[in-house]
Structure 1
């Protein structure tokens, strides 16, 4: 069919207008929250399994409320509490129910300490009487109801206290708490950061006992940070931080009897590491171990304790009888490299328990009897269980998330404890996660893939059938349509004999006959994952901005990353920064062979572990990478903490070559390209010391580079305009240097 010339002209003009309507994303839009995703906030199932609660905040008034919704209909059924009805407080930042849901803890005036810890002014709200009681005039930590709601335990100034909610009588459980010396009931810095918990005490199911950990950190070396603020004189933050090879806190387990108001230390037996015969360190016994988890079993007088040696390759599961404080070894797990700690231990009514392990080379679920004898390996195969959701005793089914549908994907499954009748409960390929109701009748599925921002749907746990859609991000999708965004392509690339997961973002008007500069991003830390079938995060929008300016962006998960089996993950043991860097260099070389990539213009960047990687890449791969950006990098594992570093490297005394051979500090003379180093001055995690030492080594090697320090900012480097400034700096550097 032949169109009239005037019609053709009209079509071309219309097409031109439509194209012109598309716009490029800006840094201001990215970091102002323009592409913020809608999420379900503070969702928590009620005991009845039919309803859930959400904490809502009225942005205009500032009031907060706890609202109840029906799982089945999604409709709000009632408001349990609104701060507008409370004269004592205007709003609260978080809440926690008692076991019977008749009382609620409200946290206000939250003061962050480290990544997971905070101090709060806490109130107790009585649902029936609507009375509100202030727990203490002081900010306290980790308040927790007793099982019968009659008491509240909490930590103040490193000591544990119990408050009788009826008589208002306060009992001090421990007396020796002292800042930077003795801690009772909460963890020290390194436990909080690396074992991911703060509350280190637990009521037993009858409320008669409290098990708690005590940390003696008096011999742990102190670290100090200058905080400049806005006053005439800076302040100094001093805290205990055990760097690799240095003294840890001495940790001990104690059992407190509520009635007699006495506590006793629990003897866990001889726990120690013995240095290997080939080591240069003293071969005397090291009485040094960790207690990364305590949890009461189905027997109210039986406490489970996980004890890990300092090398973290020998894990004991110990049962402690709270009546006489005797202990018994129930399960032992060892590994040539290290054993990961999880929260997956679940006790069934008969005190048999569910446990996850990598002992067959892949992370799977196991069922043991109360004496630690294996009943069944519940899951098996060359794929990983990535989340354990729990056990439904009524349906006799275990719920879990796994990579059975590919390591970049996640699906939800249920299975019998004997490993039979496995059922996939999700249908769409991508990343599925679940939040189950208290009785496992329903689960809320969060789904996302590279084309779909999070969609929240309600499903029946019995067969995965969708009941209704709760929330979607269609408005975000509509907004995104107005921008010049490219597809995020997921594929694999064979490097050093392994098919590595990769994503790539190309310029919108990509022409394979042109040559484009390449920017690689990676994190690469042990067990991590940066390539997944998920929707854009903030950095992805930044990559779209760079793609619009003519760059190809690539991310590759090399050896040492997770979800491809234990051997793939643990190959980096005692050699952090060797195989991971080799893979990034080889990948850059292989990508540089493609016709459309300019092999002379390949850059790499990363944050934290990724900054360690990008620094090593431009030094060891100086003929491959012409530019690198390192944000908050570790520059020597000698500067990082004991728990994380020694898990993968052992101590510097045992493995000096592993520490020094892969430290960027020892390769600065190889720098040929353009290097930008960035750090936060208040980073309590990866200390500024790392970058300052890197600066000094580069200066003494007479190497020119760019660097920036963000005063008082922590490891996340955010607050106010900080992120916008940071990404503008990095963008300008990339545009100028790559």
Structure 2
């Protein structure tokens, strides 16, 4: 009998790992509970975004509680809280006017404005505007003046700039003056097509337009763009599902792509409002995606513009003198790889007549102070092996800069931004938020206080009112309530750090486990990926850790990982530059090492069964992983992937792949590596994707067919770039694909996510 039992135990041990796991409808139902739109509803008191009221001693905010949405008034100096208004009374008043039931904690209101005495609230419900006198409990409707769509009011509300037929007019209560007269559709003033707008190719109307009108603070001047679209080239989409009829529509949108020699350009004019005339500014015309807005000085005498050049290896800061319309280059910067527009930040010091500029020129992103008159660097304000993430606030009177930075504190995850302050000359550096967490901050422009939301992926958000000068806590405002989430069996994500491909560099990531985790099982591993160099994939806040697509997949008995390999953001310049002209690397060598290292530490991770999924740049990654590292990645789901970087909007690939589009674009294209496919690949694309045109996935499909490779393709009707990612059907298909090819189990047929 003992021998028989021993043999049975050995036989059970030798059964393949897949037999340990059974996936059925109940797993899918549990996974559905963890989808972002479902689980985040159970995250209460999770966030405070203060709504500052001019000249008031309070701010207000709304927060999701177990009751519903609550509106809170908070005293700035003390943090004392009270209801902004009686929600039961307001609900009753709205119900009378709308003649329907209105729930007190599901008020149908938006566009809320509160007066400085906190006794009146203005809001919109549906299409109707209301004013509510709080103390009198009186609600009245009113009509809000409809401004012309393409218009902008002066700071004092006395004038309005209006774009009509591609020309600019100035309007007062009594008069209208046409300022420009030669504008037209191909070369118009003050407007450009919305970046993601499309139009029916058969219709004569223009694309939806966006306004480019920039008033000086004193209302004396306007800077406006003049957009030359005469040689703009289009991309096209095919809309097959119509509201009525059976003729599909062809949609077009203006889109420069990487390497285009002819692109839409913009130059600028300065309008003298008092004299009703304008001058063209002597700033070179630039591709529309290279020119950034103007920053006015506080007194309206000057404005500064950041302007990049194709390839992003150089940038100029232009100065405009409003009184004369004279311009000059104040400052320029060059880099062998790129000057990153995603991190460069220009701020004005009005009293000192200086500029603050964020730059990676010494190998780490830091703050530099520049003399406006000479363009010379006065001093490097911050210095060291850490990354300044952003300038949050400037106190010119005290000559202090408040900024977030990561990597300054030993032993703290370098991706966690903490708040510091420093004097303009670089002295008296202070840490103001000691908690080792991700801090999101909201400063009041003229107040010595700020609201700090901080969390980690393991611990929910805490919202605190703090004092600026020393970070002292005035009052804890809210603490995230996750009791219902814990009751669902939610497992805390686990942050980890391993050494990268060079054996020295720390690589950070996050691991997600199933709710019924069993260390005696063998779990396939799925990587959620996005290696776009402008950001990271691994979440650092509790909300992002909760609301991603990894947690639902874990409920199907997978272990999920997010890993930020070399080439991604928020580390040193050298770390970032690994991806330069090398996007096909996707951080893969670091990610594979990380998964193997974790599997050695955790025997329940099966590094022989690894899948990967991603969207957009992550969709490129997922396909690339199977093509570049076929012996490691076995299953991939690639959604809306930009599989050749020449299929993407021009600025992104030209920044990270260079300009002009040379042979490196071919080397990094998934098309040219289609013959390497060995694993199981699912390509997904929305047919109305105006961010990454669906031709990207179709052309990769063509190359896979040419190479006689088995794969699957889903082209989703009437879905754009974001819609296809959040589509419930596609979410389920992603689950099915991994269950079938990593577990070796046939998934529940036609499961429907509600």
Structure-2-length-normalised TM-score: 0.79
- Contact 2:532/2:568 (CA < 8 Å) preserved in 1? yes
Within 5 A, what are the aligned runs for 1:83-94? 94=111
**SS at the partner of 1:629?**
strand
- Contact 1:106/1:122 (CA < 8 Å) preserved in 2? yes
Output the CA distance in 1 between the equivalents of 2:285 and 2:169. 30
Match of 1:217 in 2: 229
1:253 aligns with 2:268: yes
The answer for unaligned runs of 5 or more in structure 2 is 1-26, 99-106, 133-139, 199-208, 743-754
Match of 1:282 in 2: none
Match of 2:467 in 1: 460
1:629 aligns with 2:644: no
User: How far did 1:516 drift?
Assistant: 2.1
Distance 1:639 1:546, change over 3 A: closer
User: How far did 1:394 drift?
Assistant: 3.5
Output the CA distance in 2 between the equivalents of 1:716 and 1:656. 30
1:346 aligns with 2:354: no
**SS at the partner of 2:627?**
helix
Match of 1:482 in 2: 487
Within 5 A, what are the aligned runs for 1:260-409? 260-268=275-283, 290-341=290-341, 342-371=344-373, 372-403=375-406, 404-405=408-409, 406-409=413-416
Match of 1:527 in 2: 534
**SS at the partner of 2:491?**
coil
Match of 2:157 in 1: 149
Match of 2:734 in 1: 730
- Contact 1:436/1:443 (CA < 8 Å) preserved in 2? yes
Match of 1:696 in 2: 702
User: How far did 1:524 drift?
Assistant: 0.9
Residue-by-residue CA offset, 1:507-528 (whole Å, 9 max, x unaligned): 4565555432111112011131
Of the three residues 138, 145, 153, the one matched with 1:134 is: 145
Match of 1:280 in 2: none
Output the CA distance in 1 between the equivalents of 2:414 and 2:210. 31
**SS at the partner of 1:25?**
helix
Match of 2:23 in 1: none
**SS at the partner of 1:295?**
strand
**SS at the partner of 1:683?**
coil
Distance 1:481 1:530, change over 3 A: same
Residue-by-residue CA offset, 1:569-614 (whole Å, 9 max, x unaligned): 1222122213634434454555565643323311111111111011
Match of 2:218 in 1: 206
Within 5 A, what are the aligned runs for 1:509-548? 510=517, 514-537=521-544, 542-548=549-555
Residue-by-residue CA offset, 1:624-655 (whole Å, 9 max, x unaligned): 1110111110110111122111111123xx44
**SS at the partner of 2:401?**
strand
Residue-by-residue CA offset, 1:505-562 (whole Å, 9 max, x unaligned): 2345655554321111120111311224321537756533433433221111011111
Match of 1:244 in 2: 258
Residue-by-residue CA offset, 1:86-120 (whole Å, 9 max, x unaligned): 999x9875479999x9x99999999xxxxxxxxxx
Residue-by-residue CA offset, 1:352-409 (whole Å, 9 max, x unaligned): 2222111111111122222223222211111111121121134332111110233231
1:711 aligns with 2:724: no
Structure-1-length-normalised TM-score: 0.81
Residue-by-residue CA offset, 1:401-425 (whole Å, 9 max, x unaligned): 1102332312111111111122211
Of the three residues 409, 423, 432, the one matched with 2:430 is: 423
- Contact 1:344/1:388 (CA < 8 Å) preserved in 2? no
Distance 1:491 1:176, change over 3 A: farther
Match of 1:412 in 2: 419
- Contact 1:46/1:438 (CA < 8 Å) preserved in 2? no
1:25 aligns with 2:30: yes
Match of 1:279 in 2: none
Within 5 A, what are the aligned runs for 1:505-584? 505-508=512-515, 510=517, 514-537=521-544, 542-578=549-585, 580-584=587-591
Match of 2:19 in 1: none
Output the CA distance in 2 between the equivalents of 1:123 and 1:198. 28
User: How far did 1:471 drift?
Assistant: 2.4
- Contact 1:584/1:617 (CA < 8 Å) preserved in 2? no
**SS at the partner of 1:618?**
helix
Match of 2:248 in 1: 234
Output the CA distance in 2 between the equivalents of 1:237 and 1:735. 37
- Contact 1:585/1:617 (CA < 8 Å) preserved in 2? no
**SS at the partner of 1:668?**
helix
**SS at the partner of 2:579?**
coil
Provide the aligned C-alpha RMSD in A: 4.2
Match of 1:450 in 2: 457
User: How far did 1:74 drift?
Assistant: 4.5
The answer for unaligned runs of 5 or more in structure 1 is 1-21, 111-120, 273-286
User: How far did 1:330 drift?
Assistant: 1.2
- Contact 2:364/2:386 (CA < 8 Å) preserved in 1? yes
Distance 1:364 1:156, change over 3 A: farther
Distance 1:649 1:504, change over 3 A: same
User: How far did 1:710 drift?
Assistant: 2.4
Match of 2:626 in 1: 618
Match of 1:663 in 2: 669
Q: Which has the higher contact order (CA 8 A, sep 6+)?
A: 2
